[in-house]
Amino acid sequence: MSATDLSAGNGTDAEAAHPRPVVAVVLVAAGSGQRLGYGMPKARVPLGGEPILMHALRGIVASGVAQQVCIALPAGDGALRRMCDDFRNELVDGGPLLTVVDGGATRSESVRSALAVLEEGTQAVLVHDAARALTPESVFHRVVDSLAAGALAVIPVMPVVDTVKTVKATSGNDARIAPELVVGTAPREQLRAVQTPQGFDLDTLLRAHGAVSGFDEEQGAAITDDAMLVERLGVPVHAVRGASQSLKITTPLDLIIAEGLLEGPLGARWVEG
Ligand code: CTP
Ligand code: MG
């Protein structure tokens, strides 16, 4: 994608022009949260007094885009299952169908576990990280509006603030100087940091994940998002504006930032859609 104004369009016109598809949200929450280092699965880690999973779930339901939410949880985690059951009971009539599955050893496997139990009639899927617990409703709407307008794949993105370089490990004499050597500098105005929810036409995403069965272990481990599988099919992947609040809570610093977003003075003055 070349440099564009990511702030263009709020989706309202698109919503009016195109009927929305029947959407299921796959919420992947089966990770162990190693880098957060909290000693429990990340979905259970408290944020503003509530587990991260609950923030993610409430955000999805509040957006109103989903007919079904399918949550991949760490296998055998009774506490998180009970949390989902309680939340299901909290939902008033008209809320989405809530389904829970055991996740897999990798994020990609967790996505496939959830895709296997989607309701008949589902037309589009949004794959969302529970770790992006504070994603604003507006991002869900931008993604679904783009699907409604004809995209088979669409991802929320943010401009990159750092200059990004490619490097390789050094050897021999170079290794005595520094561990890595710069190979090149990517043009920053063309780079985007990728977030979730990533939206797909259901058949396209199933086809993309179908190809994974032929992957070796290294290829399997390198799947960091769903869009890259769709790119391999040659299907165009569209990009809409993400949001800073959609940060993926990965490290202890991210958790501090997320707490700050919830409680800090910025909360009331936050203007970014
Ligand atoms: N995820 C999942 N199943 C896995 C691994 C990850 O459902 N086997 C989910 C996580 O729960 C998270 C999202 O994928 O919502 C992004 O993963 P990441 O941020 O890496 O979370 P963790 O894998 O839990 O963290 P870490 O890599 O630090 O262990
Ligand atoms: Mg992980």
pLDDT, tens digit, 9 for 90 and up, residues 190-234: 999 999 999 999 999 999 999 998 898 888 889 999 999 999 999
214 part of a folded domain: yes
185 part of a folded domain: no
Binding site membership of 72 for ligand 1 (Cβ less than 6 Å): yes
CATH code of the domain covering residue 138: 3.90.550.10
What is the number of other CB atoms lying within 10 angstroms of the CB of residue 4? 13
CA of 9 to the centre of ligand 1 (A): 31
183 part of a folded domain: no
Q: How far apart are CA 117 and CA 122, in angstroms?
A: 11
Residue ranges of the alpha helices (H) in the chain? Answer: 12-17, 52-63, 78-90, 107-115, 137-148, 172-177, 202-210, 217-221, 227-232, 252-263, 266-269
Ligand 2 ion local residues (Cβ < 5 A)? 31
91 part of a folded domain: yes
176 part of a folded domain: no
Query: For a pLDDT cut of 70, what percent of the chain falls above it?
Result: 90
15 part of a folded domain: yes
Binding site membership of 74 for ligand 1 (Cβ less than 6 Å): no
Binding site membership of 237 for ligand 1 (Cβ less than 6 Å): no
CA of 210 to the centre of ligand 2 (A): 21
pLDDT confidence bin for 265, thresholds 50/70/90: low
pLDDT for the residue 11: 46
- The number of the ligand nearest the C-alpha atom of 29 reads 1
164 part of a folded domain: no
pLDDT confidence bin for 92, thresholds 50/70/90: confident
Residue whose CA is at the smallest distance from ligand 1 atom 17:
31
Residue-by-residue DSSP string for 46-108 = EETTEEHHHHHHHHHHHHT--SEEEEEE-TT-HHHHHHHHHHHHHPPTTPPEEEEEE--SSHH
pLDDT for the residue 39: 95
Decide which of 5 and 17 is more confident: 17
Is the pLDDT at 55 greater than 80? The verdict is: yes
184 part of a folded domain: no
Number of compact structural domains in the chain = 1
pLDDT for the residue 28: 98
- Domain of residue 116 covers 3-158+192-270
